[in-house]
Structure 1
Amino acid sequence: MEPPQGPQSGGHRGREAHRRPVDACRTGNLPQRERSGDQPVSEQDEHDATDLMAAFDAVVRANASLVAQLSARAGVHESGLRALVLISDTGYSTPTEVAGFLGLTSGAVTNMVDRLSTAGLLERTPNPSDRRGSLLRLRPAGEDVVADYRERYAAMLRAVDSGHRGDLHAVLNDLATGLFQQAATADPATPDSTS
């Protein structure tokens, strides 16, 4: 049975064949939600929100695909690639900093660092401020991996029309802020902790 075609179902059958990949992610039937202050959400607002969510989902999936490809190309796990980028950004990092950034246990980071060291991508050096600890620094091969990563993202951003880059910068910062706020308020034990 075909889903109902109405204003809330996203039923634009005539456009199906001409949709961009982002538009194909649409979910269709969305319940009417209320905004704070009990103002009903209009059908246009709901449609716009659906389009934005579909576009954002497409960006997230495309990014995950790129990270997976770059990780495979470098012969490392995705978390290893993220660790290399972090260490490149900071110049050096402690294993504890890497664990915190990636949300991994110290044991998982130790194993990952061992693999990255064995692969010649990073090195451990003594931490001058903590005799028991170590600092992680990239080796030239690790720098090459990060350079490839950065070039791929730079090429993607260069493809954005230069007239939109300022707006894109502002939107990306707003998205990052919103995501961090949602992560900080999300209680994993509560299914809907946004209210």
Structure 2
Amino acid sequence: MQGLRLVDVGTYALRMRLASQLGISTIDINAMAFVGETDGVTPKALAAALNITTGSVTAMLDRLESKGFMVRKPHPTDRRSLLLQLSPAGTHAMQWSTEHFSEAAAAVLAGSSNETIADISTFLESIGQRLLAAAGAPDETTS
């Protein structure tokens, strides 16, 4: 478990470094990561995913758009809504983070067998799925 916590902390530290280099906040980086990984995100869905108000998302999108990292496009089926996507600069920034993560993983896995890598991959995917399920489950500790 300590190893997984360290991966989480390392990922956050990498996002903090990227945010600092881009002159934005880590919540902005989280928004960019979410939009980059999800097709057809609306501002309302982004607000829900980040647990912030739609007003805060609007201000964030204004910042990210003015810095050239995000674009708002008309929704194809709902005139009242917008879809968010990363600009080429936003995509490049997120690729920087992904490349650092991939390089770290490749260095650790160098020399490992394909079977070992497949086992690790299955393990991590299973944990990720369970964490996502737990995040979406009702909180039984406050009931």
Return the offset for 1:71: 1.7
- Does 1:85 pair with 2:37? no
What percentage of residue pairs aligned between the two structures are identical?
30
Q: Which runs of 5+ in 2 are unaligned?
A: none
The residue identity in structure 1 corresponding to 2:58 is T
Aligned length, in residue pairs? 138
Return the offset for 1:169: 0.7
Q: CA RMSD in A?
A: 2.0
Q: 1 or 2 for the larger relative contact order (CA 8 Å, sep ≥6)?
A: 2
- Distance (Å, rounded) in 2 between the aligned partners of 1:188 and 1:105: 25
- Distance (Å, rounded) in 2 between the aligned partners of 1:188 and 1:98: 26
Return the offset for 1:92: 4.2
> Where does residue 179 of structure 1 map in the other structure?
131
Q: Which runs of 5+ in 1 are unaligned?
A: 1-52, 191-195
Return the offset for 1:156: 1.7
Return the offset for 1:127: 1.4
Q: Residues 58, 115 of structure 1: CA spacing in aligned structure 2 closer, same or farther, 3 A cutoff?
A: same
1:119 corresponds to which of 42, 60, 67: 67
Find the residue that maps to 1:130 and give its secondary structure: coil
* Conserved? CA contact 2:69–2:89, under 8 Å: yes
User: With structure 2 as the length reference, what TM-score do the two structures score?
Assistant: 0.83
Q: Residues 107, 188 of structure 1: CA spacing in aligned structure 2 closer, same or farther, 3 A cutoff?
A: farther
Of the two, which has the highest radius of gyration?
1
> Where does residue 65 of structure 1 map in the other structure?
13
1:107 corresponds to which of 55, 58, 81: 55
Find the residue that maps to 2:125 and give its secondary structure: helix
More helix by share: 2
User: With structure 1 as the length reference, what TM-score do the two structures score?
Assistant: 0.63
Q: CA-to-partner distance for each residue in 1:131-153, whole Å, 9 max, x for gaps?
A: 11112122221121111121111
Listed as ranges, the matches of 1:111-150 within 5 Å are: 111-150=59-98
